[in-house]
């Protein structure tokens, strides 16, 4: 059985108001072609299909067009999708009745039955053309309300572990010898490395990182989503984040964006291959490292390739780093003017204090947009109270931040 693992597409994402539709379309076309070419039996999408709970018509069109195109390109492929924290569980689930007829299984949120998790609906068993059977534990992003009441408040890690344990137990009770278990999850695991800017900390940050023991020895592969940097968890090669297929912030420009292709044989992981996703749009930094005085930076910007060299949807995203000793009110205008007629889309101006000024500077020169909600919250707290804010308060704050991001703009 040959399985392809991907996650964190964030369809509908914008980078400083610039649409990513062209990049997403290019990625999905490449993905469908790769699945056809490599004769993939099953596609796993481990959450955050969409960037927001209310995806635009264009984002939904990308999603449904991909599924239709995939059906034509690779009629054999089974698709299993779980919801991530950015997805609306209900919205992702809504087209399920139609999609299940096309061999697309969607588990947007943890299904419930008589007040308990409906284990049967998150277990998908798939038999390949040559008779090999694989069991998928398709567990979506778990919210506190999905956990047993005794765990939800005091010990959410145990609550998540309990959900997985229950599902694995039901699979073990049904599977025959030599049939593999594959787990899916959209969660943050201990030892996972986080992107600086684009991954919102969940459940109050690292305190709820989950231990790798959630996936016991008999799990042949764990297909994870949530972290945008592709990585194996700890030393376990088969517990993996595929990472996002495109950079979702400037800070992610250097990630090796990829999908993971693996093969199961006799219930075990037999082969694992990383496939690099072609980069449709470059991310350019001026200068490549460090920063330049304003005049020199503007000169470099004016020397960028002219806009006629590429269609606008392929103009690189640009970060420019400028040395500034004091505020420069017309900075934005000067940079924008220098970019007139250039093939570049300005995403970020980084202001850097010249080395000679650092010693006597009262505070770091940072743009307001460089602060995370968490930092602002902590700064506000420290103005009034000693020490760090209590964990419960931080968790509650992050839940609110997360909820606001789920709302329609
Ligand atoms: Mn996520």
Looking at residue 251, its pLDDT comes to: 87
Alpha-carbon distance of 409 to 406, in angstroms, equals 9
What is the 343 CA–ligand 1 centroid distance (Å)?
A: 31
Q: At what angle do helices 21-37 and 57-73 cross, to 10 degrees?
A: 10
What is the 83 CA–ligand 1 centroid distance (Å)?
A: 9
What is the 228 CA–ligand 1 centroid distance (Å)?
A: 8
What is the 9 CA–ligand 1 centroid distance (Å)?
A: 10
Tokens 């200068």 locate to 287
What is the 57 CA–ligand 1 centroid distance (Å)?
A: 21
CA 303 to chain centre: 34
What is the 193 CA–ligand 1 centroid distance (Å)?
A: 14
- In degrees and rounded to multiples of 5, residue 77 shows phi and psi of -80, 135
What is the 201 CA–ligand 1 centroid distance (Å)?
A: 9
Ligand 1 (ion): which residues have CB within 5 A?
48, 84-85, 226
What is the 129 CA–ligand 1 centroid distance (Å)?
A: 33
Asked if 135 and 220 count as a contact pair (C-beta separation under 8 A), the reply is: no
**What are residue 261's DSSP bridge partners?**
4, 273
**What are residue 113's DSSP bridge partners?**
116
Asked if 236 and 272 count as a contact pair (C-beta separation under 8 A), the reply is: no
Looking at residue 130, its pLDDT comes to: 82
What is the 72 CA–ligand 1 centroid distance (Å)?
A: 29
β pairing state of 42-46 and 2-6: parallel
What is the 64 CA–ligand 1 centroid distance (Å)?
A: 21
In the chain, count of helices (H) and strands (E)?
Answer: 12, 20
What is the 245 CA–ligand 1 centroid distance (Å)?
A: 13
What is the 149 CA–ligand 1 centroid distance (Å)?
A: 24
Alpha-carbon distance of 331 to 313, in angstroms, equals 25
Tokens 């970020």 locate to 348
Enumerate residue ranges in the chain where pLDDT < 50. Answer: 196-197, 200-207, 409
What is the 13 CA–ligand 1 centroid distance (Å)?
A: 13
Looking at residue 211, its pLDDT comes to: 81
What is the 213 CA–ligand 1 centroid distance (Å)?
A: 21
Q: pTM surpassing 0.75?
A: yes
Bond into 108 cis (ω within 30): no
Compute how many other C-beta atoms are within 10 angstroms of the C-beta atom of residue 290: 9
Alpha-carbon distance of 348 to 359, in angstroms, equals 25
What is the 132 CA–ligand 1 centroid distance (Å)?
A: 31
Of 250, 229, 228, nearest in space to 344 by CA: 250
Give DSSP secondary structure letters for 276-303.
Answer: EPP-SS-EEEESSSS-EEHHHHHHHHHT
Asked if 203 and 157 count as a contact pair (C-beta separation under 8 A), the reply is: no
What is the 85 CA–ligand 1 centroid distance (Å)?
A: 5
Bond into 317 cis (ω within 30): no
What is the 87 CA–ligand 1 centroid distance (Å)?
A: 8
What is the 105 CA–ligand 1 centroid distance (Å)?
A: 19
What is the 196 CA–ligand 1 centroid distance (Å)?
A: 14
What is the 92 CA–ligand 1 centroid distance (Å)?
A: 14
What is the 204 CA–ligand 1 centroid distance (Å)?
A: 14
Q: At what angle do helices 373-384 and 391-406 cross, to 10 degrees?
A: 140
| Sign of the torsion angle spanned by Cα atoms 372, 373, 377, 383 | positive
Alpha-carbon distance of 280 to 34, in angstroms, equals 16
What is the 291 CA–ligand 1 centroid distance (Å)?
A: 32
């Amino acid at each position: 059985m040959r399985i392809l693992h991907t996650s964190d597409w964030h369809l509908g994402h914008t980078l400083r108001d610039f649409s990513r539709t062209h990049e997403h379309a290019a990625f999905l076309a490449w993905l469908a072609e790769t699945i056809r070419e490599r004769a993939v039996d099953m596609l796993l999408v481990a959450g955050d299909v969409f960037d927001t709970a209310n995806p635009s018509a264009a984002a939904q069109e990308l999603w449904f067009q991909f599924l239709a195109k995939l059906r034509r390109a690779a009629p054999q492929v089974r698709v299993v999708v779980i919801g991530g924290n950015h997805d609306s569980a209900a919205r992702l689930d809504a087209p399920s009745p139609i999609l299940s007829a096309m061999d697309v299984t969607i588990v947007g949120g943890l299904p419930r039955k008589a007040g308990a998790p409906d284990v049967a609906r998150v277990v998908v068993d798939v038999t390949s053309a040559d008779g090999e059977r694989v069991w998928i534990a398709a567990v979506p992003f778990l919210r506190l309300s999905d956990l047993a009441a005794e765990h939800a408040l005091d010990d959410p890690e145990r609550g998540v572990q309990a959900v997985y344990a229950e599902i694995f137990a039901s699979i073990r009770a049904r599977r025959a010898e030599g049939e593999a278990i594959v787990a899916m999850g959209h969660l943050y695991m201990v030892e996972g490395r986080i992107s600086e800017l684009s991954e919102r900390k969940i459940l109050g940050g690292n305190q709820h990182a989950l231990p790798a023991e959630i996936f016991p020895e008999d799990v042949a592969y764990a297909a994870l989503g949530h972290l945008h940097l592709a990585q194996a968890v700890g030393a376990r090669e088969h517990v993996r984040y595929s990472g996002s297929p495109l950079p979702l912030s400037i800070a992610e420009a250097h990630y090796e964006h990829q999908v993971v292709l693996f093969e199961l044989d006799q219930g075990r992981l037999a082969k694992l291959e990383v496939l690099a996703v072609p980069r449709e749009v470059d991310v350019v930094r001026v200068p490549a490292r460090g920063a330049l005085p304003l005049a020199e930076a503007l000169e470099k910007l004016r020397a960028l390739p002219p806009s006629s060299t590429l269609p606008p949807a392929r103009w690189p995203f640009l970060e420019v780093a400028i040395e500034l000793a004091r505020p420069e009110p017309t900075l934005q205008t000067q940079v924008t003017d220098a970019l007139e007629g250039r093939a570049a889309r300005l995403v970020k101006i980084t202001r850097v204090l010249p080395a000679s000024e650092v010693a006597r500077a009262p505070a770091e020169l940072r743009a307001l947009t460089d602060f995370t909600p968490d930092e602002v919250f902590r700064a506000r707290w420290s103005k009034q109270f000693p020490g760090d804010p209590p964990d419960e308060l931080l968790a509650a704050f992050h839940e609110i931040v997360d909820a606001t991001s789920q709302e329609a703009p």
